[in-house]
Structure 1
Amino acid sequence: MKRKTIRVISWGGLGDVLLTTPSFEALKKQDPSCKIIIYCTSKSHMEVYRHNPHIDDVRSNKFWPNIKAYFLSYFKLAPFLIPNYGQIFPSLFLRKHATEIIAEEIFRVKLDTNKVQVYLTAEEDEWAKQKLAAYKKPVAIHITSITSKNQMWPLEYWEELVASMPDHTFLQLGLPSEQQVKGAVDLRGATTFRQGMGILKHAHSFIGVVSSFLHASSAFDTPGVGLYGSSSDIIWGHANNINLNKKLHCAPCIDYIWRSPCPYSSRCMTGITVAEVKEALEQQLRHRQVIPQDNRKILQISGV
């Protein structure tokens, strides 16, 4: 019998790519003989899928522009699956996790777990340990949402939080173009995305808005704090985090206004106080002390 081949074109931002990862294990469990090939639209997408044992091949998608592939797949003219779950406006019509939406609505498979999957090599793991060894009680942070500025917590709140916890070292991950948090160790642009994920794994905790790093923290059970406003924590939240959400009547609005400015000055985010975030972070730090890192499930493979 001919082996079934599942061809997937990666789609969206890094966070969306991470949210597809539980589906591949489920596809292999459903049909162990199937072959999964991922065509990536960027090198950063390939970084997410690297070393994933449930994927048979990861290829560059530069010869298949997104629009062409999407058009042909939409009209069933090409054998590709595109996990563009955003087109069904999930926060308007669904109340289940994004990983489940991708699995059930696009890949037609049921998940055993909606935990994001990232596979670090032993060398990558050791690099992160050595990097964090220089810092006292490291807490990783990511303050930027590329999807929408409506999802961002005010910079002055971040700086007040950092100043209020001098016994901890806050490590700011992200791109050089993102705003810098005064008082935090500036790692913007200083690491690859995979190195950043290694830092997430070994940091004492993590705080972030809805972004790729928040989703990546799920892979390592890092106890963190997620800040939600225009996005739904039901759809994009993770069990390893305390998810803070003011639950205003106008939220979640991401599928209504997307990148348009919030007419209410993003009260869903500005309403999350520094005291609330600090209390949640301290609770997670205590949780980390109760469950040492060595006792957590480690997603890691031998060096390649």
Structure 2
Amino acid sequence: MDEPKTILVIAWGGIGDIVCLSPALLALRKRYHEARIVILCENNTPCELIKCWNGAYTFSIKEKKFKGFSGKIRLIKKLRQFYPDVSVMNAIGPSFRSAFISVLSGAKIRIGKSVRGKGFLNTIRFPEYRIHEIDANFEIFKYFGVERTDEKPFVQIPEDSFLFVNRWCKDKKITPKEVIGIHPGASDKNKRWDKFSELIRSFVKEGERLVIFGSEDERNYIETIVKDCGESLSYSLDPVNEPYGQTSVFSFVGYPITHAAAMISCCKLFIGNDSGLSHLASALCVPTITIFGPTSWERGRPYGDKNIIVKSNLPCSPCSWLGVGIKCKLFECLKEIKVEDVYKQAVELLNR
């Protein structure tokens, strides 16, 4: 293969998938340091996160200007103006859609997954890798000369996000590395552990201060959880009834993902479900506890030696490799995980 001048990376999935793609992207940049790298993201939020990296040009399929039929034509024109020599998808993307986008981009070499023959438009096809997502991405990138490196997941946070968080913490009288970060939500409701209220009460009882994270879509769900705790919830934009210095639980919900990343980096511990923010915390070297239920921890656990996985030992768990097609209605795998199990692991991590 000749040295490509432009490489198109089609990055499917959410925040966690982008974090899992980051080591392979670093290796790609080192291998083809003269090439232009274009990253097409499936969703806007992970796109905002990776836009901070100056190693590539990044945009999202779901930008407003790409909506509707005319928007799709605009997207095709934008892809073709880069004249990509090679297109490649990450490990979790759909076979046919990726191949179709690659064809429309004009890429001559199209590296993509082929499951049940759906990747027939690709010129180089790879199977469904049943290994960790980071390892799978490296296997894929080997197809055009990118060797495995010891690169770790990375997150590049803009300076203005750190400045915002510094002001926010000062306003709330929060000292960095004093608080525990909690994310009770997940984009897929089937991944949500339902005992976070009890866990929050356990921490508050011991005098800990917590910051609750979530997207704007999760606001109502998170408010319900914190109200169940019986504790005062301090909103960053709303008036409160008591001094911040006495508040135990703070809300950091609905902020841009780069602000959330900066705030997570200030936590001494992070606890969440199988979701993107857990991967984000791990990439920021924050000790992380991730609660797994129906999805595969072998594929999607956060990388690093400061992480602990909490899961049940039911023989039916996990019942989904990619987190799709979950047919279970009982979710005993999550219900079986006790508050004491998570709290004990948290104390262990804090004491390391």
Kindly report which structure 2 residues correspond to 1:29-68, keeping only aligned pairs within 5 A, or say none.
29-55=30-56, 57-61=57-61, 62=66, 63-64=74-75
- Cα distance in structure 2, aligned partners of 1:72 and 1:259: 23
- Cα distance in structure 2, aligned partners of 1:86 and 1:201: 38
Q: Is the 8 A contact 1:115 1:218 kept in 2?
A: no
Kindly report which structure 2 residues correspond to 1:1-304, keeping only aligned pairs within 5 A, or say none.
4-55=5-56, 57-61=57-61, 62=66, 63-64=74-75, 70-73=98-101, 78-79=106-107, 94=129, 96-105=131-140, 108=143, 109-113=146-150, 115-133=152-170, 134-135=173-174, 137-147=178-188, 149-154=189-194, 157-166=195-204, 167-178=207-218, 179-180=221-222, 181-182=225-226, 183=231, 184-189=249-254, 191-237=255-301, 238-239=303-304, 240-255=306-321, 258-263=324-329, 265-287=330-352
- Cα distance in structure 1, aligned partners of 2:280 and 2:169: 18
Amino acid at match of 1:139: I
1:73, distance to aligned residue in structure 2 (A): 4.6
Structure 1 pair 153/20, CA: closer, same or farther in 2 (3 Å)? Answer: same
TM-score, normalisation: structure 2: 0.69
TM-score, normalisation: structure 1: 0.78
Structure 1 pair 84/141, CA: closer, same or farther in 2 (3 Å)? Answer: farther
Provide structure 1 residue ranges, at least 5 long, that are not aligned to the other structure: 288-304
The 10-residue stretch of structure 1 (253-262 or 59-68) with the greater mean CA deviation from structure 2: 59-68
- Cα distance in structure 2, aligned partners of 1:198 and 1:258: 30
Q: Is the 8 A contact 1:52 1:119 kept in 2?
A: yes
Aligned-pair identity in percent equals: 21
Structure 1 pair 74/272, CA: closer, same or farther in 2 (3 Å)? Answer: same
Calculate the aligned-residue CA RMSD, in Å: 3.3
Provide, for residues 266-286 of structure 1, a one-character-per-residue CA deviation record: whole Å limited to 9, x for no partner.
121111110111111112222
SS in 1 for 2:187: coil
Provide structure 2 residue ranges, at least 5 long, that are not aligned to the other structure: 67-73, 77-92, 119-127, 232-248
Structure 1 pair 138/256, CA: closer, same or farther in 2 (3 Å)? Answer: closer
* Count of residue pairs brought into register by the alignment: 278
Larger relative contact order (Cα-Cα within 8 Å, sequence gap ≥ 6): 1
The 10-residue stretch of structure 1 (15-24 or 66-75) with the greater mean CA deviation from structure 2: 66-75
Structure 1 pair 255/224, CA: closer, same or farther in 2 (3 Å)? Answer: closer
SS in 2 for 1:115: coil
Amino acid at match of 2:58: V
SS in 2 for 1:140: strand
